Structure 1
Amino acid sequence: GRLPGTFPTDRGAEDPHHFIDDYALQWIESLRWHHELTGDATFTREMWPVLLRQMQWFLDRVTPRGLLEAREYTSFDNPIAYRTCEGATINSFFHLALRDAAWLAVEIGEAAQAAAYTTAADSLAKACNELLWDEREQAYSAGFLDGEKLPPSVHAQLMALYGGIVPPERLAATRAWFLRNFRNPGAHLVVGAKNNFRALLDGRAGLGMPIMFYWAFTELYRMDTPEADQLAVSETRRRWKHMVELQQDAGTLSESFVDEHGKGASESCHNYGSIPAYFLSSYLLGVRFENKRLLINPRPADLTECRGTVVTPFGPVPMHWQIVNGEWQLDFTVPDGISAELRLPGVDADTLLVNGSHPTDVRTAGRNVVLTVAPGACAIRVKTTIAKGKPSE
């Protein structure tokens, strides 16, 4: 029932990457993204039999404990990657896949299947929180391996957060454990189970692969605080500096991080290395698709200027913003036929001007001032205190 992790002509069944269990589950997430972006229910229905078989493959491997037993991966730096167990990361991916499958079922009129997937997701979340939570550590165990409950891991916290496992009352503790440890030295790239996995768990190994920062940056931006915004920018600079400046063989981005000598790239042209590109456009330029609409929501951190064009489902959106003497100046164009939600953190709403006029429909949401902007060119001027640092890099 699983989809292969690679093209059949690329690697044979004996290769550990021929099937990657969490990649198979991420296919469900991708199908939801496609449906949300396109509204193409015909394609979703065409893929539905594939989804059903794949979800059943995983449902058949839920243990009497109520957890999925499958092979961990997430990436090479996960201390228990390549081990078949009741792991926290694979269960988090499974939980998200169940929720996404239920959502898709509703969209195409499969009410009974939606209810079944929702019930399974509820049961899985309950089992994860009852069995994987470590009260002393205030964090989630990496999982059960041969019946043994393992210590927490950075990967377990991150994927529990991303996969929707963490209830509100544990959110702060889980985030705090992750933030304390994710910058620790991570495991080296090893294809296969690591013999030193216990030492890595005991040492609270951090994130060591570029791909992991897709989920890390997602979680930092979900926190929606100035400190988390700054951490995302600072980690982009720190972790990608040598890759950009020193990797000269292909002039592209690599599978692994590059050290201060320009070494360690593994595959020199690899999608893993491109992770910051999405966040630079979506959160630094601040243009993204969210909840079926266009959202303008730059997070400056210590930058004082950004310029670029972001491609969206509605068309390209040119953006230029700068902060000059405490005034945030944003100039962008909303595509024809739609409106956009403008969400600005850390600004003085009383000073807000839209195309030279004070808007009347301004509201607040958390630290953000929010309003709707019409299609066409838009010039925003507003006082802010958030960016006091350096020009864009």
Structure 2
Amino acid sequence: MYKPNFRVAYAGIVSLLLTASLFAGAQDRVSRILDKNYIWNVQDTTKRGDLHVVFRKNFKLAAINASATLNMFAYNRFAVFINGKYLMRGPVRFENKGPGYASINISSYLKKGNNTIAVIVHRFDHTGQIMAHEAGFTALIEPDGAKGRQIKTDAGWKAATEQSYLTRPFAWSSIRENVDARKMPAGYTSGIFNDQKWANAVMVKNLQNFAPLHKQELPFQQETVIGNLIINGKPAAGQLPLTIKKGDTLKVSLPDYSQAYVSADLDSEPGAVLRMFDKDGELNNSYTTRSGVQHYTSFDTYGIKHFIIYAESGNIKLNQLKMVERVYPFKRVGSFESSDPMLNKIWDRLTRSLQILSEDAYDDCADRERVEWMDCDPPAFDVTRTTMQGPDLNGKKMYADARLLKEMLRRTALSQQPDGRVKAHTCSDRWDIHGYMEDRTCDWVEGVRRYYESTGDKAFIKEVWLPVTKQLNWFLARRTERGLVKAREWEVSSNPLCYLVCEGTGLNSFIYKALADAAYLGKEIGQNKEAVFFAGEAEKLRAAINKHLWDKTSGTYYSAYVDDEDAAKKLLAKKILSDKRKQVSFTNGYAEPTFEAAIFAVDQQVVPAARLDSVKRFLNGKWDKPYCFMTYYYSFKQMYAEGSNQTDEKILDMIRERWKLMLDHDWQTAWEHYYEDGSKVHIYGILPAYFFSSYVLGVRTDGPVWNKKIIIDPRLGSLKYANGVVITEFGKVAVNWVKTKTGMKFTVDVPKGVTAQLKLNAEDKLADFYLNNEKGDLKKIAGRYVTDLHSGKYSGEITYIH
């Protein structure tokens, strides 16, 4: 029997209980049928490595039913053709403990009489998106709808090893290919191909490691043909068909960086070899031709803007070349325009970067890993909920679509190990220094709360409650005699203490917030006893941080306490990226205060009111030091909390300076860091798009969605005007702010059923305020002029006495 190289056995009691708790009640009629009907061919599925099989099934229909449905799943990838027409590829990435089957209406692909479905199934070796598993394919075709005839996978399906896929070079981010088309007959996905000489499929008998299926909740990824390709500096459309001979090089450019697959129509002599590759090496494919007209489509997508097609041998006519982007079907319905063209461009490129990085998961980066890390959010959902709309769900418009966030939270829960820890990333067998990352688990708990307050989905909170409690208890079991949790620091890559096992202020602050979030969630779903427990433990930890990690001299927090200073110094001297981090000193076991420790203590609400001004004084003057991008996600929030127009402008200046290099780069995509190291298409770098929508334009939700409240609080800094559309869970909020010599004119549109609190700058004395041509009343609260608005369209003007 095949045994994946898991660090902890899949079939352990804890794993089985966890799977049962996560998907209790999720099994439906279809999943129970699919679970019993896995097939393969006669290949040995117990060996490691790639396996490729083609399955075909012929069936007749007297009529076409509008409800005809195909349900299917495979370990671990498939491409489907019906009557020779490409339908889809899948499934969505999954943890082995929680696979999901795809379900799609196929009525438009069917015809009266003979029909054929052909499915190419790849059991790829593990990558950053794929876990090792035995091979298997299961399908249920219901041509007459749910109550009609059923065509299940069984020994009546035809199966053949797909021999054209040869040994390939490994890549963590994408599946490279080495295809020899001569090794398979032409047209085997068509409806007229004769498969009678193929062997029958074989039922998979030992299903011990095949977890129960549930229906896929994510919508299918959107496939879009990319226009305006360039070949060797000229439009491709005017050059095709194009004859390529040995030694020829085609330099192909896309109009924008994209997550796309290659599709080419060829006419060739047999044995000609095409190489396709990019300078970063993610695309590194080889295709050897058969004789005559043929088609090559890469199975996987690649993050790419430029690539090379090189004729290694032979003569080939390239009749057509397409690049097809395949990403989550977000619509970018938010907008941002201001008096600063650079900021406008930054918003545009960062929201485009989110689209590139949204596949069947939020990816950390498109050019290196394409892995779903828990810390993809924040900032992924922040930008999603303010700029994007997903496909409708049961007739409901999905503004601020939270489905990718939900799947990330679920898959993270499914990664939980018997000791209670969840992995830092999902759907992979990667175990290294980043297999577990303690602060990522706190991001996960915070993400559960963010999802709940965005959707009100209590059923999902109940689903992941057990994993949440197990992870938090892992932390609580690691408290020292000081009441602090001793574990590894990370939080952000520029943290001077990251990778150090210590009693760190940053990590303990994150754990405090996770405990508090769990207490809140527990109360919401009726887990009152555990809610009280976690609330109490949160306050104990907050007290311990303020007792043992407070530095009276500097008026802020030590960054950590360590038992062994020498060992700590030795580790920090050797750690990754040490040249990009501040070197810290130690005194009697206490690591000196750092910006990171202070900002996380403030952001995670650890700092008592009496100490808050002192910590902010420590932070002032350190805002614009060279930190990694994600540090600014936390610091910008605290800078905006100052309510100062000067500070608002400082934030925009920092963005102009640190994101300019991104605009100067050929790809114009979000970076991992603002210095040259790291990924050039990374989720971290998208964060200013959130602040442009939620702070410059000023629109953000005010509490959970069931409160039906928003805040409208513009922060233009020195911008002369700013306008746009901010997406909320309640719909679009259009705003327009124009500065005058004495104040500001504006229009705002509050969605139906929602109340808004309008907040305006109060640094200068108020002269007049008009709303819809009538004199209005403003109250000064916490340094802002405030008034409440109900649903509707408003225009107004505020003037000041200067």
Give the TM bin, normalised by the shorter chain.
0.7 to 0.9
In the aligned structure 2, how far is the partner of 1:373 from the partner of 1:42? 33
Q: Is the 8 A contact 2:742 2:801 kept in 1?
A: yes
C-alpha separation in 1, matches of 2:438 and 2:594: 19
The residue type equivalent to 1:286 in the other structure is G
**1:385, distance to aligned residue in structure 2 (A):** 6.9
Superposed CA deviations along residues 98-122 of structure 1, whole A, max 9, x for unmatched, are 1111111111122221211111111
Q: How far does residue 366 in structure 1 lie from its aligned partner after superposition?
A: 2.1
1:234 to 653, 669, 674: 653
1:229-275, CA deviations, whole angstroms, 9 ceiling, x for partnerless residues? Answer: 2332222222222222x222x220110104xxxxx052010011111
Between Structure 1 and Structure 2, the one with more strand by share is 2
3-state secondary structure, aligned to 2:425: coil
Find the aligned partners of 1:294 and 1:252 in 2 and give their Cα distance: 30
The 8 Å contact of residues 767 and 801 in structure 2, kept in 1 or not, is answered as no
- The yes-or-no answer on 1:179 pairing with 2:620 is yes
The amino acid of 2:423's aligned partner reads: P
- In structure 2, do the counterparts of structure 1 residues 116 and 385 end up closer, same or farther at CA, with 3 Å as the change threshold? farther
- Output the amino acid matched with 1:124: L
User: CA separation in 2, counterparts of 1:47 and 1:356?
Assistant: 51
Shift of the alpha carbon at 1:378?
Answer: 1.0
Residue aligning to 1:159 = 600
Pairing 1:205-224 to 2, within 5 Å after superposition:
208-224=627-643
Q: Which residue of 2 aligns with 1:383?
A: 799
In the alignment, is residue 270 of structure 1 matched against residue 688 of structure 2?
Answer: no
Deviation at 1:315, TM superposition (A): 0.1
Residue 665 (structure 2) pairs with residue 247 (structure 1): yes
Q: Partner residue of 2:731?
A: 315
C-alpha contact (below 8 Å) 1:285/1:307 kept by paired residues:
yes
SS of the residue corresponding to residue 606 of structure 2 reads coil
| 1:340 maps to amino acid | A
Aligned to 2:720: 304
Code of the residue aligned with 1:291 in structure 2: it is: G
Seen in structure 2, the aligned counterparts of structure 1 residues 140 and 325 have a Cα distance that, compared at 3 Å, is same
Answer with 313-322 or 336-345: which moved more. 336-345
Q: Deviations over 1:319-367 (max 9, x none)?
A: 111102223111121112222111111266551111111235x322122
User: Matched residues in 2 for 1:315 and 1:101: separation?
Assistant: 29
- Residue in 1 aligned with 2:551? 134
Residues 3 and 54 in structure 1, CA contact (< 8 A), matched pair in contact too: yes
State how far apart, in whole Å, the 2-side matches of 1:327 and 1:153 are. Answer: 39
Residues 265 and 315 of structure 1, relative CA distance in 2, 3 Å threshold: farther
Q: In 2, distance between residues paired with 1:339 and 1:112?
A: 34
Distance 1:363 1:164 in 2: 27
Query: What residue number does 1:90 align with?
Result: 507
Corresponding residue for residue 644 of structure 2: 225
User: Partner of 1:143 in structure 2?
Assistant: 560
Match of 1:4 in 2: 423
> In the alignment, what sits opposite 2:431?
13
Q: 1:183 deviation in Å?
A: 2.9
Once residues 779 and 552 of structure 2 are traced to their aligned partners in structure 1, the CA distance between those partners, rounded to angstroms, is: 40
SS of equivalent to 1:86: strand
Asked whether the equivalents of residues 488 and 498 of structure 2 are also in contact (C-alpha less than 8 Å), the reply is yes
CA contact (8 A) 2:768 2:800 kept: no
Instruction: Output the CA distance in 2 between the equivalents of 1:7 and 1:42.
Output: 22
In structure 2, the partner of 1:67 is 484
Residue 496 (structure 2) aligns with: 79
Kept in 2, the 8 Å contact 1:333–1:377? The answer is yes
Instruction: Pick which of 145-154 and 126-135 moved more.
Output: 145-154
Q: 1:267 to 1:13 in 2, by over 3 A?
A: same
* Aligned residue in 2 for 1:324: 740
Asked if structure 2 preserves the Cα contact closer than 8 Å seen for 1:139 and 1:157, the reply is yes
The 1-side partners of 2:732 and 2:501 are apart by 44
Contact 2:698/2:715, CA 8 A, preserved across alignment = yes
Give the secondary-structure state (helix, strand or coil) at the position aligned to 1:68.
Answer: coil
Instruction: For 2:489 and 2:691, locate their aligned partners in 1 and report how far apart those are by CA, in whole Å.
Output: 26
Name the structure with the higher helix share: 1
Q: For 1:250-303, what per-residue CA distance to the aligned partner results, in whole angstroms no more than 9, with x for missing partners?
A: 220110104xxxxx0520100111111111100100111122411111012211
1:21-72 Cα offsets, whole Å, 9 max, x none, are 1011111111111111211111111111111111111111111111011111
In 2, the alpha carbon distance for the partners of 1:228 and 1:100 equals: 30
Q: Residues of 2 paired with 1:2 and 1:384: CA distance?
A: 55
Within 2, Cα distance between the matches of 1:112 and 1:234?
48
Q: Which runs of 5+ in 2 are unaligned?
A: 1-419, 565-588
Task: State the SS of the aligned residue for 1:4.
Answer: coil
1:255–1:267 CA contact under 8 A, matched in 2? yes
Q: Which moved more, 1:42-51 or 1:347-356?
A: 347-356
Secondary structure of the equivalent of 2:629? Answer: coil
Partners of 1:243 and 1:299 in 2: how far apart? 24
Q: Which deviates further from its counterpart, 102-111 or 229-238?
A: 229-238
How far apart, CA to CA, are the structure 2 residues paired with 1:355 and 1:119? 49
Deviation at 1:94, TM superposition (A): 0.4
TM-score (norm 1): 0.86
* Superposed counterparts of 1:361-376, under 5 Å: 362-376=778-792
CA–CA distance in structure 1, aligned partners of residues 710 and 765 of structure 2:
23
Counterpart selection for 2:529 from 112, 116, 119: 112
Distance between the aligned counterparts of 2:711 and 2:624, measured in 1? 30
Provide the C-alpha distance between the structure 2 equivalents of 1:34 and 1:71, rounded to a whole number of angstroms.
Answer: 26
Q: What does residue 749 of structure 2 align with?
A: 333
Indicate the structure (1 or 2) with the bigger Cα radius of gyration: 2
One-letter amino acid of the counterpart of residue 213, structure 1 = Y
DSSP-derived class of the 1:341 partner: strand
Matched, 1:52 2:476: no
Structure 1 stretches lacking a partner, 5+ long = 186-207, 259-263, 387-393
Is the CA contact 1:254–1:265 (under 8 Å) kept in the aligned structure 2?
no
* Equivalent pair of 1:328/1:384 in contact (CA under 8 Å): no
In the alignment, structure 1 residue 38 sits paired with structure 2 residue 450: no
Q: Structure 1: how far apart are the matches of 2:500 and 2:538?
A: 23
Could you say what the CA RMSD is over the residues aligned between the two structures, in angstroms?
A: 1.7
Structure 1 window deviating more from structure 2 (270-279 vs 105-114): it is 105-114
- Cα shift readout 1:118-156 (whole Å, capped 9, x = no counterpart): 111111111111111111111211101225111111110
Q: Is the 8 A contact 2:725 2:734 kept in 1?
A: yes
Change (3 A) 1:182 1:300: closer
Whether the aligned pair in 2 keeps the contact of 1:22 and 1:90 (CA below 8 Å) is yes
Deviation, structure 1 residue 74: 1.1
Picking from 164, 168, 185, the partner of 2:609 is 168
Give the 3 Å change call, closer, same or farther, for CA 171–265 of structure 1 in structure 2.
same
2:18 alignment partner in structure 1: none
